[in-house]
Amino acid sequence: MAKKAGGNSVVAVVRDRRDEVLDGWVEGALRGARGRVSEAEVRSELSTLYDALVKGLVGDELPDATAAELDEARALLTELSRTRARAGATPAETAVSVFALKEAALSAVGEQPTAEQYADFLEFSRLVDDLGLVTFQAYAEARESVIASQADELLELSTPVVKLWDGVVAVPLVGTLDSARTQVVMEKLLEALLETESERAIIDITGVPAVDTQVAQHLLKTIVAARLMGADCIISGIRPQIAQTIVGLGIEFGDIVTKAKLSDALKLTLAEAGLDIVPRRGADA
Amino acid sequence: MERVPVLKLGDVLLVSIQFDLEDEVALALQADLADKIVASGARGVLVDISGLEIVDSFIGRVFADIAATASVLDAETVVVGMRPAVAITLVDLGLSLGSVRTALNVEKGLRILRRDLGLRAAEDLDAISSGASAPDATG
């Protein structure tokens, strides 16, 4: 519903009595910030924001919070949310400091608002609420991007391919295996096979907390791909309870060699490569 | 149409694919190879696919067919140099190359043919051209 912004409406008050409303707002915001930021800082932040907001309130109608007129105000709010979050403020504190504009506007209207002004205030209040939510959303988005980049880093960190011997590489898997991680493991292992010209690979699952049919499926896919390239894989690091789970689930590893320990697997690959490890002459047996 | 060259090295035919195969090129290769195996009496076929970046189900099947054809003609096929992306694609497509042997590169592939089949290949070419028998007979 279109609201006429008459001479004494809340919007007009906000637009025309800048200093008074801004003072109230800064005061309210400082109360919410609990001494985390200085008054000068808050004042400079909010006055920029205030001006951007007023710039969006030119028309007779109260704009929607998503309207293009408020682009600048929204951008400032997003920025505000980020700086506050960096300073350690909770998203609630930031939102409360935005909501303080409502009180400031209402008290600037006067002691006894008319019914029309109240209705008007309700509209304005809704707009401020929406703008407060913008800060919340910005906070959540910033957090989410941090989480996403950490997940990416984790993916990289947790899948090293190490060369154990000439022609033998190993992948010590740590953590839960899902499709995304298996894909990374698979690609890295296959690249390493090509790079190091290794014909044998050991996939060590000591650090994998649980093996289900899906994980087994992922492992099998990796091994089949390695075979297509001309390399053989051994699975090692199968703990007793994992072995029981594998049997319980009826997972078949077929002709793929499985070993209990990484050392057993290495011994086997060396033996297959025709290498014997013998104690040096004269050493204690 | 491009054709994939088939080179004869002793008892082994070497096929080196250095570009992505189109369907008819792959089919032509299959036919050429069968002809060459019969004509040369080769016992081993080495298919180097290190230049191949893209495979689809059709090309995957052609490789399996090539190996099967060679096997019928009593020649062992070794596919070498498969790129990781190709291997992953084949697995994702659920294709296997049947009983085809694989190796990381041409050198290792030749070693498999020599060791397991006693075939004379590239390194024994001198011996072949000079009319001598396989090197194991000399020692």
ipTM metric: 0.75
Q: Is the dihedral of CA A53, A59, A60, A62 positive or negative?
A: negative
Q: Which of B109, B133, B107, B131 is nearest to B120 (CA)?
A: B133
Q: Which of B122, B89, B134, B136 is nearest to B16 (CA)?
A: B122
What are the mean pLDDT values of chain A's consecutive 10-residue runs (285 residues total)? Answer: 54 83 86 75 86 79 77 87 81 86 84 81 87 88 87 77 91 83 86 91 90 84 91 92 88 88 92 87 71
For residue B102, give the nearest of A187, A198, A228 by CB distance.
Answer: A228
In the block, tokens 């490789």 appear at B63
pLDDT score at B15: 93
Give the chain A residue whose CA is nearest to the CA of B82: A229
In the structure encoding, which two tokens stand for residue B132, read together?
A: 């001598």
In the block, tokens 């694989």 appear at B102
Average of per-residue pLDDT across B76-100: 87
Reported pTM? 0.64
Residues 9-68 of B with CB under 8 A from A: none
Q: Please, are residues A136 and A144 in contact by the beta-carbon 8 Å criterion?
A: no
Quick one: pLDDT band at residue B134, thresholds 50, 70, 90?
A: very low
pLDDT score at A226: 93
- A152, amino acid identity: D
pLDDT score at A190: 92
Location of each CATH 1.10.490 domain in chain A: 10-154
**A182 at interface of B, judged by CB pairs closer than 8 A:** no
3 state SS of A210? coil
Identify the bridge partners of residue A169 per DSSP, sorted by sequence position.
Answer: A163, A201
**A199 at interface of B, judged by CB pairs closer than 8 A:** yes
**A219 at interface of B, judged by CB pairs closer than 8 A:** no
Residues from chain A contacting residue B60 (CB–CB below 8 Å): none
The number of residues making up chain A comes to 285
**A233 at interface of B, judged by CB pairs closer than 8 A:** no
Residues from chain A contacting residue B63 (CB–CB below 8 Å): none
Q: Does the domain spanning A162-272 belong to CATH 3.40.1440.60?
A: no
Supply the mean pLDDT for chain B: 82
**A10 at interface of B, judged by CB pairs closer than 8 A:** no
pLDDT score at A254: 84
CB spacing of B84 vs A199 below 8 angstroms? no
Average of per-residue pLDDT across B84-113: 87
- Tell me the nearest-neighbour CA distance from B124 into chain A, angstroms: 23
In the structure encoding, which two tokens stand for residue A195, read together?
A: 């790079």
Location of each CATH 3.30.750.24 domain in chain A: 162-272
Distance CA A27, CA A161 (A): 58
CB spacing of B90 vs A228 below 8 angstroms? yes
pLDDT score at B139: 33
pLDDT score at B64: 87
Distance CA A19, CA A245 (A): 71
Q: Please, are residues B69 and B47 in contact by the beta-carbon 8 Å criterion?
A: no
Burial class (CB in 10 A: 0-12, 13-18, 19+), A107: middle
pLDDT score at A236: 94
Q: Which of A176-185, A273-282, B47-56, B67-76 has the lowest mean pLDDT?
A: A176-185
Tens-place pLDDT, residues B25-37: 999 999 999 999 9
Q: Which of A149, A148, A173, A171 is nearest to A161 (CA)?
A: A171
Q: Which of A77, A66, A76, A67 is nearest to A99 (CA)?
A: A77
| Mutation site for A-interface testing, chosen from B47, B63, B77, B82 by largest number of A Cβ within 10 Å | B82
**A254 at interface of B, judged by CB pairs closer than 8 A:** no
Domain architecture of chain B: domains with CATH: 6-137 (3.30.750.24)
Q: Which of A143, A173, A180 is nearest to A238 (CA)?
A: A173
Average of per-residue pLDDT across B119-136: 50
**A195 at interface of B, judged by CB pairs closer than 8 A:** no
CB spacing of B102 vs A197 below 8 angstroms? no
For residue A236, what is the enclosing H or E element?
A: strand A232-236
Distance CA A96, CA A33 (A): 8
Give the chain A residue whose CA is nearest to the CA of B99: A228
Between residues B130 and B86, the one the model is more confident about: B86
Rg of chain B on CA atoms, in Å: 15
- Tell me the nearest-neighbour CA distance from B81 into chain A, angstroms: 7
Quick one: pLDDT band at residue B120, thresholds 50, 70, 90?
A: low
- Tell me the nearest-neighbour CA distance from A200 into chain B, angstroms: 11
| Mutation site for B-interface testing, chosen from A186, A188, A229, A232 by largest number of B Cβ within 10 Å | A229
| DSSP state for residue B21 in the 8-state scheme | P
Q: Please, are residues A85 and A142 in contact by the beta-carbon 8 Å criterion?
A: yes
CATH tag, A10-154:
1.10.490
